[in-house]
Amino acid sequence: MASPHPVCQGDPMIKGDLPGGLAVRRPRADDQPRVLAVLDDWWAGFGGDAGSLQRSRLLPRLFFEHFTASSYLVEHADGTVAAFLIGLLSPSQPDVAYIHFVGVDPALRRHGVAAALYRQFFADAARHGRRQVRCITSPGNTISLAFHTALGFRVEPGDLTLDDRTLERDSPSPQGGVTAHRDHDGPGLHRIVFTRPLTGEPPAAQPATASGTTAAHPRPHTSRDLRVCFLGDSFTAGVGDPTRLGWVGRLAAATDPDGLYLTTYNLGIRRDTSTQIHARWKAECLPRLPAGADNRLVLSFGVNDTAIDGQQPRVPLEESVATLHALLTEARPPLPVLVVGPPPGLDETRDVRIRTLDARYAAVCVALDVPYVSVFDTLTALPAWAADLTVGDGVHPGAAGYQILADLVAIPWRSWLDDGDQADGSSAVRG
Ligand SMILES: CC(C)(COP(=O)(O)OP(=O)(O)OC[C@H]1O[C@@H](n2cnc3c(N)ncnc32)[C@H](O)[C@@H]1OP(=O)(O)O)[C@@H](O)C(=O)NCCC(=O)NCCS
């Protein structure tokens, strides 16, 4: 379920390109049946029963488990699927990124949704050192042909020429004929092959190694010296995660090093309230954020404020809100700050307080123009989150839950890192 807050609930860099009310995030395994369910409708039965069968076989679950970091899922405000792009960075061809499958809800067509997803994919692929994007489509899918041509793809010459009679008549191919590759995907499964250079996208900094894999180490001398303090509570510390990574470790590990020399500091303390975190932020963060580096702060707290101590929450709501406001005011400028909201637990009464706090934190961030990642509603609607809390200590998730959290934060995090790429590459901090 999408957040009601006008803040970055999975909002990525492409947010500005998408029609309002849409939220974009990385797909998950449990999205696969939801996407399969829309295919026939979205492809309008193209290719009949055989086409339907082929399409469903093109999206096995592995794409929603192993290629999520290069794919996107867009949802309407009511949580229904609005669009998807399944892509990958070719493991065999270090220069190539591949778009496997894309679809947009017919109600949203010609609003630039697919183009926005493609542009985002191009930028991500270029950042990973890819120089070319490839994809295919079926002869007869004239809309796909028009779309890819409009996006700058070239049709790669094949051994079969299709004229307009072979294609559907309602949308003739731009050149009046198109070349395809006979039996590309098996007997009778001819395909149009598209290719597009990525020369217009942000340059990639990461070279391929001799083995064909990408370089594992960032290059400090040519990269942005990015230092990020993650200040928060036990969720920030990753308590309950058997891998000890938590969402912060997973996020850091998944951040590609291209152009970034990223240092992360996990400053999560168990049981800490907003008041305690506010009291220690300068002493803990400032020594880690030297002048001349690109310094940043991620804040995530609030759940401990809502715990009942005696008859009252440990920190009254208004004090929690005022504390976040004070901390943000002290830190900004010069520090760019990203705030990640408190997650829900298993106690319904307490969750009411957490939801209220989430909404108030969102409002503070909107007022101060600070990006806020609200995770509460999405996690509440996800059975996998509650299930993971249940098998853990009842408060903290395990590996699966922290992965969900990391996935929710990943796109706004990347957007925030890119947005704040400062011209002089540095920010001073005050003591
Ligand atoms: C192909 C598809 C993904 C395009 O999605 P979309 O969000 O409507 O596309 P966009 O709005 O971003 O279109 C970008 C440009 O592509 C071209 N284009 C898109 N749809 C077009 C159509 N029906 N006819 C002609 N040109 C079209 C236009 O130049 C458009 O720019 P414009 O609207 O400013 O003229 C969508 O039609 C779809 O989901 N089709 C069914 C699934 C499919 O065939 N997928 C591709 C093969 S895997």
Atom of ligand 1 nearest to the CA of 118: 12
Residue 18 has pLDDT above 90, yes or no: no
Q: Are residues 153 and 237 in the same domain?
A: no
Q: Which helix (H) or strand (E) holds 337?
A: strand 337-340
Q: Is position 1 within any domain? A: no
What residues are in contact with ligand 1 under a 6 Å CB criterion?
42-43, 101-104, 109-115, 137, 141, 143-144, 146-147, 150, 171
Q: To test the ligand 1 pocket, which listed residue (147, 191, 196) has its Cβ within 8 A of the most ligand atoms? A: 147
Ligand 1 centroid–CA 114 distance in Å is 7
The closest residue, in CA terms, to atom 5 on ligand 1 is 114
Q: How far apart are CA 315 and CA 293, in angstroms?
A: 34
Residue 1 has pLDDT above 80, yes or no: no
| Mean confidence (pLDDT) of the chain | 84
Atom of ligand 1 nearest to the CA of 101: 48
CB neighbourhood size of 394 (10 A): 11
pLDDT in tens, 253-300: 888 766 678 999 999 999 999 999 999 999 999 999 988 889 999 999
Q: How far apart are CA 300 and CA 236, in angstroms?
A: 7
Ligand 1 centroid–CA 9 distance in Å is 26
Q: Are residues 170 and 230 in the same domain?
A: no
**Roughly how many angstroms between the first and final C-alpha of the chain, as a whole number?**
41
Phi, psi of 275 (to 5 degrees): -65, -45
Q: Is position 214 within any domain? A: no
Atom of ligand 1 nearest to the CA of 146: 26
Segment 211-232 mean pLDDT: 61
Q: To test the ligand 1 pocket, which listed residue (110, 184, 185) has its Cβ within 8 A of the most ligand atoms? A: 110
Q: What proportions of the chain, in percent to the nearest 5, are helix, strand and coil? A: 40, 20, 40
State the residue range of the domain holding 127: 23-197
pLDDT in tens, 313-341: 999 999 999 999 999 999 988 899 999 99
- Which has the closest alpha carbon to 259: 119, 87, 129? 129
pLDDT in tens, 384-413: 999 999 988 889 999 999 999 998 998 899
Segment 147-166 mean pLDDT: 83
Residue 11 has pLDDT above 70, yes or no: no
Q: How far apart are CA 54 and CA 41, in angstroms?
A: 14
Ligand 1 centroid–CA 150 distance in Å is 9
CA 420 to chain centre: 17
Ligand 1 centroid–CA 110 distance in Å is 6
Atom of ligand 1 nearest to the CA of 148: 16
Q: Is position 131 within any domain? A: yes
Ligand 1 centroid–CA 401 distance in Å is 36
The closest residue, in CA terms, to atom 46 on ligand 1 is 144
pLDDT in tens, 349-358: 999 999 999 9
Ligand 1 centroid–CA 51 distance in Å is 19
Ligand 1 centroid–CA 117 distance in Å is 12
Instruction: Please tell me the predicted confidence (pLDDT) of residue 162.
Output: 76
Strands 260-268 and 294-300 turn out to be unpaired
Instruction: Please tell me the predicted confidence (pLDDT) of residue 19.
Output: 81
> How many structural domains comprise the chain?
2
Segment 158-171 mean pLDDT: 60
Peptide bond into 60 cis (omega under 30): no
Q: Is position 217 within any domain? A: no
pLDDT in tens, 100-143: 999 999 999 999 999 999 998 998 888 788 889 999 999 888 89
The closest residue, in CA terms, to atom 35 on ligand 1 is 110
Q: Are residues 181 and 297 in the same domain?
A: no
Ligand 1 centroid–CA 145 distance in Å is 9
Instruction: Label residues 111-141 b or e (16+ Cβ within 10 Å = b).
Output: bbbbbbbbbbbbbbbbbbbbbbbbbbbbbbb
Strands 81-89 and 96-104 turn out to be antiparallel
Q: What is the three-class DSSP state of 423?
A: coil
Q: Is position 84 within any domain? A: yes
Ligand 1 centroid–CA 216 distance in Å is 37
Atom of ligand 1 nearest to the CA of 111: 11
CB–CB of 120/70 below 8 Å? no
Q: Are residues 74 and 129 in the same domain?
A: yes
pLDDT interval class at 4 (50, 70, 90) = very low
Ligand 1 centroid–CA 3 distance in Å is 28
Instruction: Please tell me the predicted confidence (pLDDT) of residue 20.
Output: 80
Task: Select from 161, 177, 197 the last residue of a domain.
Answer: 197
Q: Are residues 273 and 382 in the same domain?
A: yes
pTM for this model (two decimals): 0.54
Q: Are residues 312 and 419 in the same domain?
A: yes
The closest residue, in CA terms, to atom 23 on ligand 1 is 143
CATH number of 65's domain: 3.40.630.30
Segment 53-62 mean pLDDT: 92
Ligand 1 centroid–CA 126 distance in Å is 23
The closest residue, in CA terms, to atom 40 on ligand 1 is 103
**Token pair of 120, please?**
């985002």
Residue 211 has pLDDT above 90, yes or no: no
Q: Is position 13 within any domain? A: no
| Burial class for 58, CB neighbours closer than 10 Å (0-12, 13-18, 19+) | middle
Q: To test the ligand 1 pocket, which listed residue (143, 153, 171) has its Cβ within 8 A of the most ligand atoms? A: 143
User: Tokens 């999408």 belong to which residue?
Assistant: 2
pLDDT interval class at 209 (50, 70, 90) = very low
Q: How far apart are CA 314 and CA 300, in angstroms?
A: 17
Q: Are residues 242 and 371 in the same domain?
A: yes
Q: Are residues 186 and 276 in the same domain?
A: no
Instruction: Please tell me the predicted confidence (pLDDT) of residue 394.
Output: 86
Q: What is the three-class DSSP state of 193?
A: strand
Q: How far apart are CA 405 and CA 375, in angstroms?
A: 8
Q: Is position 210 within any domain? A: no
Q: How far apart are CA 39 and CA 105, in angstroms?
A: 9
Q: How far apart are CA 130 and CA 276, in angstroms?
A: 45
**Token pair of 179, please?**
């070349």
CATH number of 411's domain: 3.40.50.1110
Q: Are residues 253 and 111 in the same domain?
A: no
Atom of ligand 1 nearest to the CA of 141: 44
CB–CB of 207/162 below 8 Å? no
Q: Are residues 60 and 123 in the same domain?
A: yes
Q: Are residues 98 and 37 in the same domain?
A: yes
Q: Are residues 245 and 284 in the same domain?
A: yes
Q: How far apart are CA 396 and CA 4, in angstroms?
A: 24
Ligand 1 centroid–CA 100 distance in Å is 16
Q: Is position 213 within any domain? A: no
| Burial class for 163, CB neighbours closer than 10 Å (0-12, 13-18, 19+) | exposed
Phi, psi of 231 (to 5 degrees): -105, 125
Cα distances (Å, whole numbers) of residue 93 to 76, 119, 134, 186, 211: 35, 21, 11, 22, 11
